[in-house]
């Protein structure tokens, strides 16, 4: 797995052996960032990488100019690997690492809002349908929520869904909570 673009382009990320994580493929990551670039400026963004795994989405964001990234990961060994990846790129001082449950984190979070929130949860996670509503209060007014899921979940009728794209088994849904305000006007 490697960084796709930006100042760290082409550099590799460490990933755990086995099936501890399900890293976002290079193809899907490229598509995700193409979707983001057409909707927002990544430069100076505050990013939250829920279910961080190796940290690929957050580190890719940093490579493309994000100001900071918060990584949330339940597995201690995997979070240590995420820290090592950030350290390899010299961005650890711009990152915050939280060991714990991403759902619990977002439900209790009371800090500054994020510009982008990525969530690549285990596809079996029962809380996937509730994630958009739990994340929206923590986004800047023009912020974006990027959720990876499979076909068991459809957000086609969600009023804040900006776009949804399928890449094999993975579906990427991009939400813009600002669309909810447009409905109110």
Instruction: Give the model confidence (pLDDT) of 130-183 as tens digits.
Output: 999 999 999 999 999 999 999 999 999 999 999 999 998 899 999 998 887 765
* Mean per-residue pLDDT of the chain: 91
Which CATH number describes the domain made up of 26-184?
A: 3.40.50.150
Say what the pLDDT of residue 138 is.
97
3 state SS of 159: coil
C-alpha span between 78 and 54 (Å, rounded): 7
Taking CA atoms, 113 is separated from 63, 128, 130, 137, 143, in Å, by 21, 21, 19, 8, 9
For the cut 70, the answer to whether the pLDDT of residue 71 exceeds it is: yes
pLDDT at 178: 84
Global pTM value: 0.92
Res. 56 pLDDT band, cuts 50 70 90: very high
Mean pLDDT of all residues in 77-90: 95
- pLDDT of the residue at 28: 85
Q: What is the pLDDT of residue 8?
A: 94
Three-class secondary structure of residue 10 per DSSP: coil
Backbone torsions φ then ψ of 84, nearest 5 degrees: -65, -40
Residue 93: exposed, middle, or buried by beta-carbon count in 10 A (0-12, 13-18, 19+)? exposed
> How confident is the model at residue 150, as a pLDDT?
93
Q: Are 119 and 47 in contact (CB under 8 A)?
A: no
For 147, how many CA atoms within 13 A lie in the half-sphere containing its CB?
30
At residue 29, does pLDDT exceed 90?
Answer: no
* Per-residue pLDDT at 21 exceeds 80: no
Is residue 22 very low, low, confident or very high in pLDDT (cuts 50, 70, 90)? low
pLDDT at 100 over 60: yes
137, 29, 14, 73 alpha-carbon torsion, rounded to 10° = 20
Q: What is the mean pLDDT of residues 112-136?
A: 96
């Amino acid at each position: 797995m490697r960084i796709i673009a930006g100042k760290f382009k082409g550099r590799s990320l460490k990933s755990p052996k086995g099936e501890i994580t399900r890293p976002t493929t290079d193809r899907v990551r490229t598509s995700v960032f193409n979707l983001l670039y057409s909707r927002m400026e990544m430069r100076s963004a505050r990013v939250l990488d829920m279910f961080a795994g190796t940290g690929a989405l957050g580190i890719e964001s940093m490579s493309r100019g994000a100001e900071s990234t918060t990584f949330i990961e339940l597995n201690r060994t995997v979070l240590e690997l995420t820290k090592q990846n950030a350290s390899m790129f010299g961005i650890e001082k711009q990152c915050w690492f939280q060991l714990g449950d991403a759902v619990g984190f977002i439900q209790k979070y009371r800090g500054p809002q994020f510009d982008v929130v990525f969530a690549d949860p285990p596809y079996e996670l029962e809380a996937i349908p509730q994630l958009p509503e739990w994340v929206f209060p923590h986004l800047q007014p023009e912020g974006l929520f990027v959720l990876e899921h499979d076909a068991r979940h459809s957000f086609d009728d969600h009023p804040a869904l900006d776009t949804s794209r399928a890449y094999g088994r993975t579906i990427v849904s991009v939400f813009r909570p600002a669309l909810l305000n447009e409905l109110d006007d």
